[in-house]
Amino acid sequence: MTTVLTPASPLTAADRCDRCGAQAYLRVVLTSGGELLFCAHHGRKFEPELKKIAAEIQDETERLTAAPASASTEER
């Protein structure tokens, strides 16, 4: 997926997948205007179609595998 980082508008726990309602980790800005939000699962599932219609894709799925900042050295 094409990744565009938009630090001014990170996704939060309040952002939900438009398909299933899970926490969103991808924001797809459409060339026609508007945006869609997807969980990691649905972002991967619809990736080929999204690439065709996206002006940009903000992908924050790396947060799913990152160690929490509060994790001890042994937990990381």
Tens of pLDDT, residue by residue over 3-45, are 554 444 899 999 999 999 999 999 999 999 999 999 999 999 9
What is the number of other CB atoms lying within 10 angstroms of the CB of residue 12?
A: 8
4, part of any domain: no
73, part of any domain: no
20, part of any domain: yes
pLDDT of 52 reads 96
* C-alpha pair distances (Å), 52 with each of 1, 8, 60: 11, 25, 20
| Domain with 44 in it | 15-60
Q: pTM score, two decimals?
A: 0.76
70, part of any domain: no
- Domain tally, the chain: 1
8, part of any domain: no
